[in-house]
Amino acid sequence: MLAEVSKNVFLYASQNKLFNKGAKKWGLKLGASQVVAGVTIESAIKKVRELNQKGIVCTLDHLGEFISSKEEATEAAAYNIKTLKAIAASGVNSNLSVKMTQLGLDIDLDFCLNNMRRILDVAKETNNFVRIDMEDYAHCQMTLDILRELRKTYDNVGTVIQSYLFRAEQDVKDLRGIPLRLVKGAYKESSEVAYQEKEKIDENYMNIIKEHLLSGSYTAIASHDHKIIAKVKEFAKQHNIPSNQFEFQMLYGFRKEMQLSLVQEGYKMRVYVPFGDDWFGYFMRRLAERPQNVTFALKGFFSK
């Protein structure tokens, strides 16, 4: 009961614009530096290089939420382009992840699409891949519509499917052949559209992983759950799925030993590396996901 209450508090805070504005002034406090790789491209590239040296590949995400003007969205698109160019110039091994609301989805759909096209043009020039992050349920269908439109022209773009949504399995079937990151989901959704019980979310998670792998599609399994990871390994062996058809993904700052262990076993391990001063919403969702994350963050805060 207490865990559910704390989860709701953190999820509420993650969507509070006033809190988010204040957090930009605080800097990476409250333990956020444990899970956010600094506020600048330079700090993020440095962290990516350190991970690369350990055999880990990455995806960079310039954090940004609550975009309410075309000017802000245009700046966000430009910063993502700058990030792609920094990746190329530095020679680090990293993709890019972006959120559609950061690029103006809530303002104008065509405007958002044009921003994405600008980003994907640079990604193609620099031989890189861009992942469209999935946000809350209200933006799910719009995000998939954008993906389908972009895939008519670009093959270097994919998205994320969240297993707690009832629609997840059908979405995975419909997106056969497209590189997908499969996750459990980190937003608070109603029982009308999403499973609420961990057991059902986990069950559906394995279902969509198996579905995408068996279709021959490239699959990114984003999980810190050692039981899920063990099941995926066993399933791949049973069905002769080559290791170059999938990768494991984890968040920056979490399960570092497991990340290295997977690399040593020969699996591709990608770490999602968020950075930027708009870190508050992301950090709150991480605290909401698991009670252990609160302890983890506080240890980081008090160890400074």
pLDDT at position 302: 34
The pTM is what? 0.86
Q: What is the mean pLDDT of residues 178-203?
A: 95
Q: What is the mean pLDDT of residues 36-59?
A: 95
Identify whether 181 is a catalytic site residue. yes
pLDDT at position 12: 41
Say whether pLDDT at 294 is over 80. no
Per-residue model confidence as pLDDT tens digits over 76-115: 999 999 999 999 999 999 999 999 999 999 999 999 999 9
Report CA torsion sign: 299, 51, 209, 189: positive
Say whether pLDDT at 280 is over 90. no
Identify whether 133 is a catalytic site residue. yes
Q: Which amino acid is at 244?
A: N
Q: Where are the domains of the chain?
A: 37-278
Among residues 61, 131, 133, 270, which one is catalytic? Answer: 133
Per-residue model confidence as pLDDT tens digits over 193-246: 999 999 999 999 999 999 999 999 999 999 999 999 999 999 999 999 999 999
Among residues 61, 131, 171, 181, which one is catalytic? Answer: 181
> Is CATH 3.20.20.220 what the domain over 37-278 is classified as, yes or no?
yes
Say whether pLDDT at 288 is over 70. no
